[in-house]
Amino acid sequence: MNEQDILKDAERHCTKTGARLTPLRRRVLELVVRADAPVKAYDLLSQIDRSNTSAKPPTVYRALDFLINAGLVHRVEALNAFVACPQAGHGHAAVLYICEVCTKVTEVQGARPGQEHKPEGFCVTRSVIEHYGQCMNCR
């Protein structure tokens, strides 16, 4: 999926679910989608249009939290960075393959791991599985 398709899919998903994709949230999503590698929150902040003087670290983190909860962005836990989800609101766990050489992240569609072994009464709200190694281009 290309950048424009991902953004259009995100807008459709937000309209369908009633989630509000504000201009700042959309801008943060655009920057994550355009990034060649996982991007950190402070890198996003430095890229946001300088005319938006209200863009402070908490503002960016709130936008990222919204995008994660909406199923539009994944947090790469070990890197404390963010990548765009190629399929908005898909509802599956994030299964990420991260190249230790070029830092490219590839998401593979997966089921909800851990559901079958969860403690009784436990409700899983988010799962992230991260695999590290070398992509085909870097091997």
9 with 69, same domain? yes
Domain that holds residue 43: 3-84
Q: Say whether both 71 and 19 belong to one domain.
A: yes
β-sheet bridge partners, residue 83: 74
User: Can you give the CATH number for the domain in which 28 is found?
Assistant: 1.10.10.10
C-alpha span between 75 and 135 (Å, rounded):
20
7 and 72: one domain?
Answer: yes
Give a yes or no: residue 40 inside a domain. yes
Interior CA angle at 93 toward 43 and 64, to 5°?
A: 25
Residues 55 and 74 in one domain: yes
In this structure, are 31 and 68 located in the same domain? yes
* pLDDT attached to residue 46: 87
Q: Would the pLDDT of 49 be above 70? A: no
Shared domain for 79 and 100, answered yes or no, is: no
| 94-99 β-sheet, strand order | 105-108, 94-99, 128-133
In a domain, 112, yes or no: yes
Q: Are residues 57 and 103 in the same domain?
A: no
Tokens of 52: 């938006």
pLDDT digits (tens, 9 = 90+) for 24-48: 999 999 999 999 889 999 999 888 8
Chain-centroid distance, C-alpha 3: 13
Give dist(CA 73, CA 83) in Å, integer: 6
Beta-strand pair 128-133/105-108: unpaired
Same structural domain for residues 22 and 77? yes
Q: Is residue 56 part of a domain?
A: yes
Q: Tell whether pTM > 0.85.
A: no
pLDDT at 124 over 80: no
b/e sequence 50-64, b meaning 16+ C-beta within 10 Å: eeeeebeeebbeebb
What is the Cα–Cα distance from 94 to 89, expressed in whole angstroms?
11
Tell me which residue has tokens 């995008």.
67
Asked if 14 contacts 20 with a C-beta cutoff of 8 angstroms, the reply is yes
Q: What is the pLDDT of residues 69-123, one digit of tens each?
A: 888 998 998 889 999 987 776 655 678 899 999 988 888 866 555 555 667 887 7
Whether 66 and 102 map to the same domain: the answer is no
